[in-house]
Each structure stands twice: as C-alpha cells, then as structure tokens.
Amino acid sequence: MAAAFAAVGGKWKLTLVYWLAHGETHFAGLRRRAAPISAKVLAEQLRELQADGLVERVETGPVPAPVVYRLTDYGMTALPVVESVRVWGGDHLRRSDAPQGDPAAGCVDEVA
C-alpha cells in the first residue's frame, strides 16, 4: 500500500493520470482543467509522476514550444486503480447523499 500511495497518492496524482488517459496535453491544458491547483503544485505532481515512470514530458520543439505530457505504458497500468477509485467515489457520493438508514445507501441500522 505504501508504495502505491507514494506513486499515485496525494490530492492530484490520480486525477492527472485520469486526464492524461484521455490523451496527451500541455501544461496549460492541465492547469485549465485543474483550476484550483497552483502552477507550482501541478509542476511538482507532474515531476513526481515522471520520477515514478508514470508520465513522460515531451518537448515539442525549441523553446518556447509547448511541452506535452502523456502517460507512459507503465502509467497505463495504473488506469484500473484510477477507474476503481472513480467508481468508488461516485458510489460514496450517492451514499453520502442518501438518508441515513436507507438500504439503497448500504447503511445497516442493526448489526446481526
């Protein structure tokens, strides 16, 4: 668990992997999608994902050409984790919105 959390834990890493699964994009594109994230934190998260081999940074030409980020083949192996967390998050939101004791929410009033 510790190794997995080190690679994809944190507030933004799974989200970045999810967005990059839909296609490569440049820094500004990621920044627009993640409106509350600061440029500094986004850059740090991308560097950490690069260091773990999940994301690659591709220079598209001489400066000031945009830099493109994309998932590596190894990064693609994290997609089942991302999808599981996404599905669980949706279920959690629905459960949180359901009234307490509602069987559809998975709540149990009594323990057998």
Q: What's the pTM value of the predicted model, to 2 decimals?
A: 0.78
Note the pLDDT of residue 100: 58
pLDDT by residue (tens digit) across 25-56?
999 899 988 778 899 999 999 999 999 999 99
69 close to 57: Cβ distance less than 8 angstroms = yes
47 close to 25: Cβ distance less than 8 angstroms = no
Q: Which domains does the chain have, with CATH numbers?
A: 2-95 (1.10.10.10)
pLDDT by residue (tens digit) across 45-101?
999 999 999 999 998 888 888 899 999 999 999 999 999 999 999 999 998 886 655
